Amino acid sequence: MQDPVEPSMSLITVFSSDKPWPPIRVERQNPCYAKEILSDIGACNSEMSAISLYLYNNAILTDSDPEYARIFQKIAIVEMHHFNVFSHLAFLLGADPRLWAPDNGSLRYWSPSCNNYPTAGKALWENALAGEEAAISKYCCQARQIDDAYVTDLLERVLLDEQIHVRIFRRMLAQTG
């Protein structure tokens, strides 16, 4: 019997904020800001890491728990939009938006080895939650440090979606016991 206080996960239908997206533009090119945004694309704590992890989670859960698999797929789609926004933003700021990020004075390509890959239960959702919380911390820091209203508006809009993902993952964790 379904718990009346905690509805089924299939009732989760909101994966992103309904707040409109600001335009993707910048006040001017800025190499320092470009490096920050590149890290949102291709560092270990990045949209690419989230996308790849959530697609992996979707694949391993599809047969055993299709509701959870669907949630990871829907969140991955939102992260793909963030990836696209940050890629365009990095380009406008003057960077080549490849899957790479600054690392000790050079650029290092993103690798699937960035992710941890727990395969079941509580560890799987704790891992996803930790990634979302790390992204929120990073984007908040960037929004405080970057002095470009267009860039900070976009970071703040991305943050709204990431906060929704945190709430979803916390709910998932609560249901796993």
Mean pLDDT of 99-127: 95
Cβ partners under 8 Å of residue 41, min gap 6: 47, 48, 83, 86, 87, 90, 97, 98, 99, 100, 101, 110
d(CA 128, CA 142): 21
pLDDT mean across residues, the chain: 93
Asked if pLDDT for residue 126 goes beyond 50, the answer is: yes
**What is the predicted pLDDT for the residue at 4?**
39
Report which secondary-structure segment, H or E, holds 151.
helix 149-176
The CA dihedral of 150, 155, 161, 163, to the nearest 10 degrees, is -140
Select from 173, 58, 61, 168 the least CA-distant residue to 122. Answer: 173
pTM of this prediction?
0.93
Contact predicate 148/30, CB 8 Å: yes
